[in-house]
């Protein structure tokens, strides 16, 4: 009888385990990472880590929309003063309300990005590098006033040009990488350029 009860519980739990073990295809990874792969590395790391806490990112986005007009250090301090305790990466993104708004407006994308980062981190990192290589080969990735593009071995690093500001880049994923190669998996567009003081 105990064995039957255990099997019944296991059968009920199997869909949950299967969902948690989801593996994303390369086409899906290209699609979900294309809008953010050209972010400066510190900002990209924040977005990937924050996506593993989609509920908190949604909460932080709601806070940002209520406190519209705040960004950068001012927003980060105000959220702390209001008593919000989120994952540090989510809290750091309060400095970039437009990113949180997109994460909230595309909640399925945010959740999938977090799942992929947790379950397939090496493939996510490799996909970012593949996308950056495509942009470089297409002539659309170079150092400028806001970002330093540096190659270290096979890796392409993207670093903020200023120690005080992080630029949210503005680019069309359907153009910057050259002709898009997955017609059934087109990436979404991302937010416009914003310059925000980095939290110190």
- Please tell me the predicted confidence (pLDDT) of residue 59: 96
- Please tell me the predicted confidence (pLDDT) of residue 167: 87
Going from the C-alpha of 112 to that of each of 33, 39, 108, the distances in angstroms are 11, 19, 6
**CA gap 59, 163 in Å, rounded:** 29
- CB proximity list for 169: less than 8 A, separation 6 or greater: 38, 39, 40, 146, 147, 193
**Residue 76 · residue 199 · CB < 8 Å:** yes
In residues, how long is the chain?
A: 200
The two structure tokens encoding residue 134 = 């495509």
Which residue shows structure tokens 């953010």? 36
**CA gap 40, 22 in Å, rounded:** 28
**Which parts of the chain register pLDDT below 70?**
1-21, 190-200
**CA gap 146, 25 in Å, rounded:** 33
Three-state secondary structure call for residue 3: helix
Express each pLDDT in 122-132 by its tens digit.
Answer: 999 999 999 99
Domains of the chain by residue range? 23-197
Closest CA to 42 of 119, 157, 130: 157
């Amino acid at each position: 009888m105990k064995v039957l009860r255990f099997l019944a519980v296991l059968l009920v739990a199997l869909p949950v385990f299967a969902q948690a073990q989801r593996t994303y295809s390369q086409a899906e990874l290209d699609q979900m990472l294309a809008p953010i792969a050209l972010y400066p590395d510190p900002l990209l790391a924040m977005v990937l880590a924050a996506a593993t806490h989609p509920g908190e990112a949604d909460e932080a986005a709601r806070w940002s929309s209520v406190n519209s007009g705040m960004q950068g250090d001012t927003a980060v301090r105000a959220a702390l003063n209001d008593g919000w305790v989120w994952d540090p990466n989510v809290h750091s993104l309060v400095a970039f309300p437009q990113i949180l708004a997109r994460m909230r407006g595309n909640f399925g994308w945010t959740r999938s990005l977090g799942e992929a980062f947790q379950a397939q981190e090496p493939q996510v990192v490799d996909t970012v590098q593949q996308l950056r290589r495509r942009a470089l080969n297409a002539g659309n990735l170079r150092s400028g006033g806001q970002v330093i593009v540096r190659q270290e071995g096979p890796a392409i690093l993207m670093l903020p040009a200023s120690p005080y500001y992080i630029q949210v880049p503005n680019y069309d994923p359907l153009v910057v990488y050259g002709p898009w190669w997955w017609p059934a998996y087109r990436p979404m567009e991302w937010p416009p350029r914003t310059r925000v003081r980095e939290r110190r």
